Amino acid sequence: MAGAYDDRDGKIWMDGQLVDWRSANVHVLTHAMHYASSVFEGERAYNGTIFLSRAHSERLHTSANLIDFEIPWSVDEIETAKQSVLEANGLTDAYVRAVAWRGAGEDMGVASARNPVRLAIAAWEWGAYYGDAKMKGAKLDISKWKRPSPETAPSQAKAAGLYMICTMSKHAAEAKGCSDAMMFDYRGYVAEATGANMFFVKDGEVHTPKPDCFLNGLTRQTVVGMLKERQIKVHERHIMPEELESFEQCWLTGTAAEVTPVGKIGDYNFEVGAIAREIAEGYEKLVRS
Ligand SMILES: Cc1ncc(COP(=O)(O)O)c(C=O)c1O
């Protein structure tokens, strides 16, 4: 299965039932399309089991609450729906995308309390997010866009509106031949990439930005646990841009990115070193265990 995402064979779960892939459509006056009233999840199934499935469904609910709506399907119902999508499409190793949004309805202004909340779940085969970067290390640009303050946007929500600056950052990065962009936050601290969290190594210890204005990714939390299990010291703290020069290794974490070593951020170079490799391999084993 390949080609445009709206023109594929298969089934998509939409509002309680499996529909033909090409029929999973919405109206142009869908509130979410105009005002970003949408939240989503990115998940991966390995050998038929979605890694941290329930935590993703719970985060979907939390994200919806953070942007002021309730998903009319329980976490248990979402869990069953995700499994039915995998089965209906004959997938065991797949990326799973759940998305909930304010649909079309009585309201077409900014307020949308009268519009129905909708939910869809799709799954497809999706290989390495950064291509061959797992071996060589990804090359990152530095974005001109800053992660917003939690007083400006609900930064712990996996909400569509927060990705506008990520898309622009990633387009600028790709135009320079990079796979992604590192973003600073509104205070100027190192934050994350456009769809993944970041880790750095210096003198055998790990440093990772404190997620106080961006998503504390489930992969990030898993990797922090893996490092602690291996007795590797982890510092979750604010990281200044000038510190980038002193870090020896770097990697990204995310459901799509998994654990991807970074070789370059702007003019700063990193080696694909032993800790980065060990965590990348350890993560691969863990998600399949
Ligand atoms: C902006 C952003 N940060 C971090 C992450 C990592 O989150 P997770 O590890 O839960 O996939 C993601 C991916 O979901 C993301 O889009």
- 3-class DSSP state of 47: coil
- Which fold would CATH assign to domain 11-124? D-amino Acid Aminotransferase; Chain A, domain 1 (3.30.470)
267: CA distance to ligand 1 center in Å? 25
Query: What is the per-residue pLDDT across 215-234, written as a single tens digit (0 to 9) for each?
Result: 999 999 999 999 999 999 99
**215 touches 197 (CB < 8 A):** yes
Query: What is the per-residue pLDDT across 109-166, written as a single tens digit (0 to 9) for each?
Result: 999 999 999 999 999 999 888 888 778 899 999 999 999 999 999 999 999 999 999 9
Domain ranges of the chain: 11-124, 133-287
Question: Bigger pLDDT: 180 or 133?
Answer: 180
- Mean pLDDT of the region 179-203: 98
What architecture is domain 133-287? Answer: Alpha-Beta Barrel (3.20)
**Structural tokens at position 282:** 């350890």
DSSP for residue 197: E
Neighbours of 29 (CB within 10 A): 13
For residue 1, pLDDT over 80 is answered with: no
- Mean pLDDT of the region 5-33: 98
The ligand 1 atom nearest the CA atom of 56: 10
11-124 and 133-287 have identical folds: no
243: CA distance to ligand 1 center in Å? 23
For residue 2, pLDDT over 80 is answered with: no
Q: Is the CB of 53 under 6 A from ligand 1?
A: no
User: pLDDT tier at 237 (50, 70, 90 boundaries)?
Assistant: very high
For residue 71, pLDDT over 60 is answered with: yes
Q: Is the CB of 211 under 6 A from ligand 1?
A: no
- 3-class DSSP state of 271: coil
User: pLDDT tier at 5 (50, 70, 90 boundaries)?
Assistant: very high
State the pLDDT at residue 140: 98
State the pLDDT at residue 232: 98
DSSP for residue 90: T
Q: Is 285 a residue of the active site?
A: no
Q: In terms of Cα–Cα distance, which of 281, 284, 249 is closest to 265? A: 249
Q: For residue 185, what are the contacts with CB-CB under 8 A and spacing of at least 6?
A: 146, 147, 149, 191, 209, 213, 214
